[in-house]
Amino acid sequence: MEEEGVRMGIIVGKVEKLFKEISNWGRKNSLWAAIQPIGCCGMEMLATSTPHYDADRWGVLYFESVRRCDLIIVGGYITKKYLPRLKYVYDQMTDPTYVLAMGECAISGGPFYDSYAMVTDVDEHIPIDVHIPGCPPRPEALLDGIRELQEKIQEEGDLEGKLPEEKVEWRYEYSGEQED
Amino acid sequence: MENKKTRELMDKLEEYSIEKDKEGKIKVDKNNLKNICKTAIENEFDRLSSLTAVDYKDYMEVVYHLGSYEHKEVLVVKVKVDKEDPKVPTVSDIWSYANWYEREVWEMFGIDFKDNSDLRKLLLPEEIDGNPLRKEYPIGGRE
Ligand code: SF4
């Protein structure tokens, strides 16, 4: 078989791979974001969607209904009290779900690392795809993180294997249903 | 003259063996607390603007700020409590909104407000044990 690629205007390659590429291309260019502007990072996050920075140019649309979103931007301090709610939000979103951790707080606790109320290992609870350091990261940094995520999506598709089994468990836990 | 009304009130409270300083703060015994609050209300210091506590390692203090809209002055009342057996009478029967303050102080410092039947966690999630604002609480909740 000939090498994959485009030859004389004809796409050569496996059909599944082609479909995957096309679906990945679609996914990466229409990220609907459920935003979590919990801390001061939220200001930068909101600014990113305003006309000045206009995240919509990269296909990122902030949307109210988490059930229709596939990107969650966690910006700010996750407290022990908030963590179950964050998981609940994550759990309701469509699959595949991508997660951006924005700011030091969401990554490791940041300036509140020593607080009794902080969750310093959000990564243990929901799988984070891209970490954006900064306190707070500027909108440009957030856009850079989004671009990085898009590259990752194009390469890895639905980031296979990242959908944790627990996600299914949470679903039952929170809805009160029992698995048969 | 500054804090005129506060000084007047402090003179009236003399009978409850208070310890006063020149900034308008008084240290009182916990058994006299309720009477002092009632006297303060009669003298238009009728608003409990804050109720909090401080951990001084060897002992703790519960701090009440009694404000007056009438005179625009504040009286600070401090009650010393034992660290091993911290008990203070509740003021939630005098000011009903004191209940939330007391619940917060109870969960953060472990101070028991006698006769307050509604001591439940207010801000902390259930899984946090201990009293985070006490000095001996491990930093970050990590042992
Ligand atoms: S990382 Fe900094 S700016 Fe962002 S929420 Fe934490 S403290 Fe605020």
Q: Please give the ipTM for the structure prediction.
A: 0.76
Q: If you take atom 8 of ligand 1, which residue's CA is the nearest one?
A: A40
Give the residue with greater pLDDT, A5 vs A168.
A5
Q: Tokens at residue A99, please?
A: 């997660």
Question: Average pLDDT of chain B?
Answer: 88
Q: Residues B99-118: what's their mean pLDDT?
A: 91
Structural domain boundaries enclosing A91: 25-166
Q: Hey, what domains does chain B have and what are their CATH numbers?
A: 4-114 (3.30.460.80)
What local confidence, expressed as pLDDT, does residue B99 receive? Answer: 92
Asked if pLDDT for residue A105 goes beyond 80, the answer is: yes
What local confidence, expressed as pLDDT, does residue A180 receive? Answer: 47
Residues of A in contact with B139 (CB under 8 A): 114
In a domain, A63, yes or no: yes
In a domain, A61, yes or no: yes
Q: How far apart are CA A139 and CA A37, in angstroms?
A: 13
Q: If you take atom 4 of ligand 1, which residue's CA is the nearest one?
A: A41
Distances (CA, A) of B34 to A155, B29, B64, B107: 70, 10, 12, 22
Distance A110 CA to ligand 1 centre (A): 7
Q: Residues B37-43: what's their mean pLDDT?
A: 90
In a domain, A150, yes or no: yes
Q: Residues B67-83: what's their mean pLDDT?
A: 90
The answer for B 75-134 residues in CB contact with A (under 8 A) is 123-125, 127-128, 132
Query: How many distinct structural domains can be found in chain A?
Result: 1
CA distance A14 to chain B (A): 52
Secondary structure class of B123 (helix, strand, coil) = coil
Domain CATH code at residue A77: 3.40.50.12280
Q: Residues A48-71: what's their mean pLDDT?
A: 90
Asked if pLDDT for residue A13 goes beyond 90, the answer is: no
Mutate to test the pocket of ligand 1, among A35, A36, A41, A120 (most ligand atoms within 8 A of CB): A41
Q: How confident is the model at residue B79 (pLDDT cuts 50, 70, 90)?
A: very high
In a domain, A16, yes or no: no
Q: Name the pTM for this structure.
A: 0.79
CB burial of B118-128 (b: ≥16 within 10 Å; e: otherwise) equals ebeebebeeeb
The answer for B 21-40 residues in CB contact with A (under 8 A) is none
Q: How confident is the model at residue B52 (pLDDT cuts 50, 70, 90)?
A: very high
Contact A114 B125 (CB under 8 A): no
Asked if pLDDT for residue B143 goes beyond 90, the answer is: no
Asked if pLDDT for residue A160 goes beyond 80, the answer is: no
